[in-house]
A and B are shown apart, each in its own frame.
Chain A
Amino acid sequence: MGPGDLAGVLSKLPVVQNSNVLVGITTSDDAGVYKLNETTALVQTVDFFTPIVDDPYLFGQIAAANSLSDIYAMGATPMTALNLVEFPNCKLPGEVLLAILQGGQNKVAEAGAVIIGGHTIDDNEPKYGLAVTGIVHPDKVWTNAGAQSGDCLVLTKALGTGILASAARANLFPNGVMVATVSMATLNAVAAKVAEGFTVHACTDITGFGLSGHVYEMAAGSKVAITIDSAALPLLPDAVEAASMGLVPGGAYANRSYLTTVTFAENVPEAVRDICFDPQTSGGLLFAVPAREADELVLALHSAGVASASKIGHITNEGSGEIYVR
């Protein structure tokens, strides 16, 4: 669902208070955090979606990398996962389901976690994802609400996966589509590990609400305003070309109409604006770190193989979620 529709429904539900809930549903964060004792908190998240690529094994990998990402975005370590599967048993052969599950299982294993169960429903269109549980020290949770005036923003993956998924369905831009596929199947584990050595004030991952939507959640949660440097944004190859020719998913337009606090400098090209609102699958982590540490963090990420990591903006002042893209 788009951010506007979801917020409208969630606002009607009563908020249940519990002192062990460190991060709950009220702050639009990536995962929930529940304190078990003084040294351990549970981090839980769930995500599933329809196939974004044709290849079932790759789809499984991407869905798992996407689900695990929320755990990394909280500064936590994934431990266990449960499969969520909807599959048209009559329409597709069992090997397809096997390939999806194999992709998911291998990606979860790469993350050092283990799948311990799941649930399957017969449905017209396949859907796959995981509920993932991780652990973190209660004092070391990264939320999206801690960004401070003077921080810089570092993004770890290139943008444009939604636009390139449209391009894939249109059989266009094979190069960009392939790079996007590799990016989506890549875990955020290395990026999170590298960032542990730095002063992370806030962290989130870029997914369905697009860069602008998740920057907004960070800015609003942290009560600050944020400036994004459009020229510094890491972009997937062909993303600008694909956006220019109208391969922009409907979700990008939904994000754009919901996010009323985003303003653009006049010279930011229309295609780059589209990319700012483009819903991402298994997108990168977005860190807010003190300005003096930002360049070093980007360097450390590059050395660790996170080649797209870039410093993309900064926190300007106190505010309530205003975003300026220049």
Chain B
Amino acid sequence: MSDRIVDCRGMACPGPVITTKKAIEETSSGRITIIVDNEAAKTNVAKFAAANGLGAGVEAKDGQYYISIIKGTGQLAEADDRSQAAIGDTSSQVYLITQDTLGHGSPELGTVLVKGFMTTLLEVKPQPAVILMINSGVKLAVKGSPVLNQLTTLASRGVSILSCGTCLDYYQLKTELAVGEITNMYTIVETITKHKTVTL
């Protein structure tokens, strides 16, 4: 067991929480005392401890807060599992969909494939962050789309479905958009530049 003191006075949000996170990760077992100088930071650090299944005792002295967190070896493994799970659930994967069928060849087969693709996407972890629709790809996000249910489910799980506004205009489908939001080329370029993107 070791005692560790972490001074987070003068730090702006979310500094105290990040510093606490690091200290907890670095400490195998023992007591960690976090010192903060405002109530918001105190509450946030206590929330962070609670979210990781660790109890926190708070002592107020001269307008400063001393938060004691005790970490046992069992709690360490649990906290690590949680942070791993959190990472596993999210990703920054982006799909750029450029047509309303999947692959080149028979359009009929392409429609079957795009349906299979979107249905499978629902099962895959981590889920994508953003699906961008351009050119005839926007037809997948409008009323009557064969994959509307799948896209609606993805949207409800927090996946951004963004359709190119120029493309919706071209196909005269702007009023038919049934899932997600309209976007522009700037956002599309920003998104695919910054994140791992698969083009279909």
A interface residues with partner B (beta carbon < 8 Å)? 55, 57-58, 61, 106, 110, 166-167, 169-170, 173-176, 178-179, 182, 185-186, 190, 236-238, 241, 243-250, 252-254, 270, 303-307
Asked if A174 and B177 sit within 8 Å, CB to CB, the answer is: no
> In whole Å, how far is A201's beta carbon from the nearest beta carbon of chain B?
26
Cα A169 to Cα B18 in complex, Å, equals: 9
Residue of B nearest to A58 (CB): B190
Residue of A nearest to B46 (CB): A246
Point out which of B12, B51, B90, B162 has the most chain A C-beta atoms below 10 A from its C-beta: B90
Given A175-B91, A182-B187, A253 contacting B40 (CB threshold 8 A): yes
Residue of A nearest to B89 (CB): A175
Given A247-B14, A247-B17, A174 contacting B51 (CB threshold 8 A): no
Q: Which of B101-109, B117-125, B178-186 contacts A (4 or more CB under 8 A)?
A: B178-186
Asked if B92 and A106 sit within 8 Å, CB to CB, the answer is: no
**Is B97 interfacial (CB-CB < 8 Å)?**
no
B interface residues with partner A (beta carbon < 8 Å)? 12-14, 17-18, 21, 38-41, 43-48, 51-52, 86, 90-92, 129-130, 155, 157-158, 160-163, 174-175, 177-184, 186-187, 190-191, 194-195
Cα A61 to Cα B190 in complex, Å, equals: 12
Measured between beta carbons, the chain A residues less than 8 angstroms from B92 are 174-175, 178
Given A166, A174, A306, which contacts B13 in the complex, CB threshold below 8 Å?
A166
Cα A174 to Cα B94 in complex, Å, equals: 12
Can you name 26 A-B pairs with beta carbons within 8 Å?
A61-B186, A166-B14, A169-B14, A170-B14, A170-B21, A174-B91, A174-B92, A175-B91, A175-B129, A178-B195, A179-B130, A182-B183, A185-B187, A186-B181, A243-B47, A244-B47, A245-B48, A246-B47, A249-B14, A254-B40, A303-B175, A303-B178, A304-B177, A305-B163, A305-B182, A307-B181
Asked if B47 and A175 sit within 8 Å, CB to CB, the answer is: no
> In whole Å, how far is B59's beta carbon from the nearest beta carbon of chain A?
18
> In whole Å, how far is B65's beta carbon from the nearest beta carbon of chain A?
13
Question: Would you list the 6 A-B pairs with minimal beta carbon distance, nearest first?
Answer: A237-B158, A246-B44, A246-B47, A246-B48, A253-B40, A175-B90
Given A247, A250, A307, which contacts B180 in the complex, CB threshold below 8 Å?
A307
Cα A55 to Cα B191 in complex, Å, equals: 12
Asked if B158 and A175 sit within 8 Å, CB to CB, the answer is: yes
Given A182-B162, A246-B43, A238 contacting B48 (CB threshold 8 A): no
Residue of B nearest to A253 (CB): B40
